[in-house]
């Protein structure tokens, strides 16, 4: 039996125990955006340190200004092998609205579905289930003679909030974290049987806007008419930020956005992607993005603007005839190509200020800004990973784009000049960031096997 | 000593005890819009029943589908006197934002201000302090020989939520409530030394709009672009509902809106009203209403549209890259002249539906609709009340309009063909519906004296 077959067979035998380990991590409500869960974030971090220490890693919890990091190192059995850095995040999105979950979000359990078993819990797919595929691959190597590459692991706890502590941490630990290649497991497969390697990631700018009007809440009977209403100001900004072709109307917004190379455009057109099905699964029928772009372009290779939240005035039951003193909205921009996050922020703020009546003032609260990223198609590591995945899944992996953002990939490219292989086993219907998030058992099991094959291929 | 002087002197002597009685009522948090306070609404209702019973009224608590009513009757000492119906409301607006109060909103107390003593509590001015001026006038008559008019009193507990139970209650109790004239004390003085009789009241339409998009909350990385965002739909509606002259853009909105008669327009222009001061007291400088109308017109005689609340998506701390499945806003319309509330509702709903993308559906939640009201300047009762107020305050009362709405005035005009004298002692800076609501001691004291004079004048 070849060494890699032994590793794969060990993963198969260990599956039940691996699921139980994952359940232990999923039971910790490590919601990073809400300070009430800070203790749980640290708990999840320490859980991972303990786990990796048990696998022979030199693992430690590293404090930051926000939630702590896990850093772990282990050497291969051989010398002269590549050194890879694996990145994941142990933090999760808030579980709200909790009332829409069919079970408690932090009580992980198995559900039998027509497509097979699935693991249900907040974080099952994003990103705890995914990062554990890599840890379980390391465990199988460890039990069968040792790792094929030198491995450094970095798990952060602020990915869902734009990774505010990451830049400083990278700057302070450059030497320790530098490797030949970064591996990231926070992306999706093409479908349940077809793997994908993500080569394009959208960037993300998060800006909260607070509009202040009168010095106090007013009675709309007494002041309705002459007094400015901050909700109206926000309404105008939201209405103006897209034109009638659903393009983003910020001046300079599309600077640095290139059209797709013809061969990639052709590959995407050949994919069996059904935009109608993609939308109908969430109750929609008509693409709401740029009129002249396909749905796949809209989510993989085009920049967007969205409002993720808005609040102002009386929002309880019944009515209250109030003119609120303030109203606020959370905006996000998905970036592609060479769009400059700082210039987008600047343009957005100018756009808001230009729509500010004389009696209003605006407050901007930045929640993070990261550029988009693209991996060269000619990369040697990409070729090895494609072959390894082909072997495991018996299908050619799709070279995909991704609508979501993984800030660290940009940061490592910028600060350490490291390329990143993004391989993940999530599915489009995993309900990440939504109630009843799940991760397919096939993703978890074959995900671990895939990483074993990729690590083996990178060291051959 | 004339009989009326005895009554006035009794009011003067009873002032401290009257303030203590008012405090008893203010201490009950009878917030009508929030079901959590239903018990307190009933408590306030029963408190008034007991009070009026003690003054010789035949008073009772009347159940409704919502909060209960107080109905009380008492006869004059003489026959062949007018029969008046006095209306007030014991419910109050929510106290939120509670953190902006300098003291607990339901712990009434006296504050010494440069303009004299004031009573601070939620409801001090709107409407508990005001209705108690009338009750205290009745007490003084009761202690000095009896009432000058036959009096029926109606206090409701749903004024702040658009009086949903009132129409049915009026229909069922028409005969019992019918009188020669209605008196209402829910309006303001011109200033602290100049009384006012309100002859024009704006109507009110309250509509909540819920926009539903995708079948669940979505991740903006995965769906941002092709998926419709209900917050954007609301933003478009809010932006479109006013034109660039700040006129309301609903088709047919201004049907039934007449310009002011020349003599009233002249009287208003002659008033010492300073729009700059009116706005600067709440931190504003520029009128935000219709460009070609004065501020006094904007609040007294012009219709408006406002958004009183909006909510959608993630509104907690930090960021969440969610595309919400729904978003909602509470709209209100102030009506004047002969604007038809039902037609406004119809026009608004058509306006919203016309802006609904194919993948959204809309839910409308009505919170009340009442027309505007106008008292003829030639009314006999108006003449008597003007003379009585002139005697008390030594100034001619201003014949004012009011931006706020008192639904019952319209209902009594429509169903019982009764005219209404609206006399109130509130001031523009009373902060009704806002934190730190207050009522001037001079308003409370001279308000009771004013009612004594008006009742006396009506029966002469």
- What does the pLDDT average to over B245-256? 97
Angle between helices B441-459 and B380-393 (to 10 degrees): 130
Lowest mean pLDDT among A296-300, A326-330, A444-448: A296-300
Non-local (6+) Cβ contacts of A112 within 8 A are: none
Tokens encoding B253: 């909105």
What is the band of B127 on the pLDDT scale with cuts at 50, 70, 90? very high
- What does the pLDDT average to over A338-349? 96
B437: chain A residues, CB-CB within 8 Å: none
Cα–Cα distance between A256 and A96 in angstroms, integer? Answer: 36
Best mutation target among A89, A187, A310, A312 (most B Cβ atoms within 10 Å) is A310
Give the up-direction half-sphere exposure of residue A146: CA atoms within 13 A in the CB hemisphere: 11
Question: What is this model's ipTM?
Answer: 0.71
Cα–Cα distance between A31 and A90 in angstroms, integer? Answer: 9
Residue A289 has pLDDT above 80, yes or no: yes
Q: Rounded to 5 degrees, what angle do the CA atoms A45, A51, A53 make? A: 105
Which CATH class, in words, describes the domain spanning A3-201+372-459? Answer: alpha beta
B310: chain A residues, CB-CB within 8 Å: 231, 234, 310-313, 315, 327
Cα–Cα distance between B246 and B248 in angstroms, integer? Answer: 6
Lowest mean pLDDT among A92-96, B6-10, B399-403: B399-403
What is the band of A265 on the pLDDT scale with cuts at 50, 70, 90? confident
Best mutation target among B222, B230, B333 (most A Cβ atoms within 10 Å) is B222
CA separation, residue A416 to residues A204, A341, A380, A381 (Å): 20, 19, 18, 17
A238: chain B residues, CB-CB within 8 Å: 231-232, 234-236, 238-239
Nearest to B87 by CA among B373, B344, B328, B422: B422
Residue A93 has pLDDT above 60, yes or no: yes
Strands (E), A53-121: 58-62, 69-74, 83-89, 109-113, 116-120
Residue A82 has pLDDT above 90, yes or no: yes
Residue B221's Cβ-count burial label (10 Å; 0-12, 13-18, 19+) is buried
- What does the pLDDT average to over B100-127? 96
Give percent of chain B above pLDDT 70: 99
Give the up-direction half-sphere exposure of residue B137: CA atoms within 13 A in the CB hemisphere: 27
Scanning the structure block, which residue is given the tokens 């550029």? A371
Average pLDDT, chain A: 93
pLDDT at residue number A240: 98
Average pLDDT, chain B: 93
Residues B149-173: tens digit of each pLDDT:
999 999 999 999 988 999 899 999 9
A434: chain B residues, CB-CB within 8 Å: 216-219
8 A C-beta contact, residue A226 and residue B287: yes
Give the up-direction half-sphere exposure of residue B176: CA atoms within 13 A in the CB hemisphere: 16
A237: chain B residues, CB-CB within 8 Å: 235
What is the band of A411 on the pLDDT scale with cuts at 50, 70, 90? confident
B122 touches chain A (CB under 8 A): no
What is the band of B1 on the pLDDT scale with cuts at 50, 70, 90? low
Residue A117 has pLDDT above 90, yes or no: yes
Q: Taking the domain A203-259+294-370, which CATH number applies? A: 3.30.70.360
Answer with the residue of higher pLDDT: A41 or B320: A41
**3-class secondary-structure state, position B155:** strand
B317 touches chain A (CB under 8 A): yes
N- to C-terminal Cα separation, chain A = 17
Nearest CA in chain B to A126: B219
Residue B454 has pLDDT above 70, yes or no: yes
Residues A118-165: tens digit of each pLDDT:
999 999 999 999 999 999 999 999 999 999 999 999 999 999 998 899
pLDDT at residue number B222: 84
Tokens encoding B268: 């208003």
Non-local (6+) Cβ contacts of A337 within 8 A are: A256, A257, A258, A372, A374
8 A C-beta contact, residue B371 and residue B335: yes
Nearest to A425 by CA among A177, A88, A69: A88
pTM over 0.90? The answer is no
Residues B335-353: tens digit of each pLDDT:
988 899 999 999 999 999 9
**3-class secondary-structure state, position B50:** helix
Residues A372-401: tens digit of each pLDDT:
888 877 789 999 999 999 999 998 888 888
Cα–Cα distance between A195 and A454 in angstroms, integer? Answer: 13
Answer with the residue of higher pLDDT: A414 or B451: B451
A446 touches chain B (CB under 8 A): no
Cα–Cα distance between A377 and A368 in angstroms, integer? Answer: 29
Cα–Cα distance between B443 and B445 in angstroms, integer? Answer: 6
Residue A1 has pLDDT above 70, yes or no: no
Scanning the structure block, which residue is given the tokens 């203590």? B20
Cα–Cα distance between A310 and A332 in angstroms, integer? Answer: 12
Q: Taking the domain B3-202+373-459, which CATH number applies? A: 3.40.630.10
φ, ψ at B249 (rounded to 5°):
-90, 5
CA separation, residue B303 to residues A221, A228, A310, B394 (Å): 10, 15, 27, 34
Answer with the residue of higher pLDDT: A263 or B97: B97
A28 CB neighbour count, 10 Å cutoff: 23
Cα–Cα distance between B69 and B162 in angstroms, integer? Answer: 15
Domain spans of chain A, in order of start: 3-201+372-459, 203-259+294-370
B222 touches chain A (CB under 8 A): yes
DSSP A96-111: -SGGG-SS-TTS-EEE
Cα–Cα distance between B299 and A222 in angstroms, integer? Answer: 6
Tokens encoding A419: 């390329």
A352 touches chain B (CB under 8 A): no
B415 touches chain A (CB under 8 A): no
Give percent of chain B above pLDDT 90: 79
- What does the pLDDT average to over A318-323? 91
Q: Which of B282, B298, B310 sits opposite A313 (nearest CB)?
A: B310
8 A C-beta contact, residue A223 and residue A236: no
B424 touches chain A (CB under 8 A): no
Scanning the structure block, which residue is given the tokens 């993963």? A11
Residues B399-447: tens digit of each pLDDT:
888 777 676 787 788 888 898 999 999 998 999 999 999 999 999 999 9
Nearest to B170 by CA among B33, B64, B49, B61: B64
Do residue B242 and residue A232 have CB atoms under 8 angstroms apart?
Answer: yes
Residue B378 has pLDDT above 80, yes or no: no
User: Which residues of chain B from 371 to 400 reach within 8 Å of chain A, CB to CB?
Assistant: none
Preceding amide of A63 cis, omega within 30: no
Residue B174's Cβ-count burial label (10 Å; 0-12, 13-18, 19+) is exposed
Asked if the domains B3-202+373-459 and B203-257+303-370 are classified in one and the same CATH topology, the answer is no
B329: chain A residues, CB-CB within 8 Å: 231
φ, ψ at B365 (rounded to 5°):
-120, 105
A33: chain B residues, CB-CB within 8 Å: 316-320
Q: Indicate the Cα dihedral angle B227, B229, B230, B231, nearest 10°.
A: 180
B315 touches chain A (CB under 8 A): yes
Domain with residues B203-257+303-370, CATH architecture: 2-Layer Sandwich (3.30)
């Amino acid at each position: 039996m070849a060494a890699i077959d032994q590793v794969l067979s060990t993963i198969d035998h260990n599956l039940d125990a691996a699921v139980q380990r994952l359940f232990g991590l999923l039971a910790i409500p490590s919601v990073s955006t809400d300070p009430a869960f800070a203790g749980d974030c640290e708990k999840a971090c320490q859980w991972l340190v303990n786990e990796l220490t048990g696998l022979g890693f030199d693992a430690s919890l590293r404090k930051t200004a926000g939630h702590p990091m896990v850093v772990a190192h282990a050497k291969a059995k051989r010398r002269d092998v590549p050194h890879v850095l694996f990145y994941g995040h142990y933090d999760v999105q808030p579980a709200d609205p909790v009332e829409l979950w069919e079970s408690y979000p932090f009580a992980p359990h198995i559900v039998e579905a027509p497509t097979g078993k699935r693991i249900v819990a907040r974080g099952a797919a994003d990103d705890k289930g995914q990062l554990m595929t890599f840890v379980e691959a390391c465990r199988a190597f460890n039990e069968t003679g040792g790792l094929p590459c030198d491995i450094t692991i970095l798990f952060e706890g602020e990915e869902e909030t734009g990774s505010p502590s990451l830049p400083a941490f990278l700057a302070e630990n450059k030497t320790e974290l530098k490797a030949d290649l970064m591996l990231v497991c926070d992306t999706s497969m093409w479908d349940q049987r077809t793997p994908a390697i993500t080569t394009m990631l959208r960037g993300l700018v998060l800006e909260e806007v607070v509009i202040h009007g009168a010095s106090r809440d007013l009675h709309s009977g007494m002041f309705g008419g002459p007094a400015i209403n901050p909700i109206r100001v926000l309404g105008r900004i939201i209405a103006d930020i897209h034109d009638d072709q659903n393009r983003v109307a910020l001046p300079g917004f599309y600077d640095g956005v290139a059209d797709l190379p013809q061969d990639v455009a052709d590959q995407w057109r050949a994919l069996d992607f059904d935009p109608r099905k993609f939308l109908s699964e969430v109750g929609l029928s008509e693409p709401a993005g740029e009129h002249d772009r396909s749905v796949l372009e809209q989510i993989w290779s085009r920049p967007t603007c969205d409002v993720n939240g808005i609040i102002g005035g009386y929002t309880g039951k019944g009515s209250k005839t109030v003119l609120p003193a303030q109203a606020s909205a959370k905006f996000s921009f998905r970036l592609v190509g060479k769009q400059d996050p700082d210039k987008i922020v600047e343009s957005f703020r100018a756009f808001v200020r230009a729509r500010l009546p004389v009696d209003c003032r605006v407050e901007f609260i930045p929640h993070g800004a990261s550029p988009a990223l693209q991996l060269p198609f000619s990369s040697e590591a990409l070729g090895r990973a494609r072959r390894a995945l082909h072997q495991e899944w018996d299908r050619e992996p799709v070279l995909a784009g991704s609508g979501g953002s993984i800030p660290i990939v940009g940061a490592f490219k910028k600060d350490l000049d490291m390329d990143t292989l993004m391989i993940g086993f999530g599915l489009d219907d995993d309900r990440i960031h939504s109630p009843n998030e799940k991760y397919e058992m096939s993703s978890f099991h074959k995900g671990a096997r895939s990483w074993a094959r990729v690590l083996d291929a990178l060291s051959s």
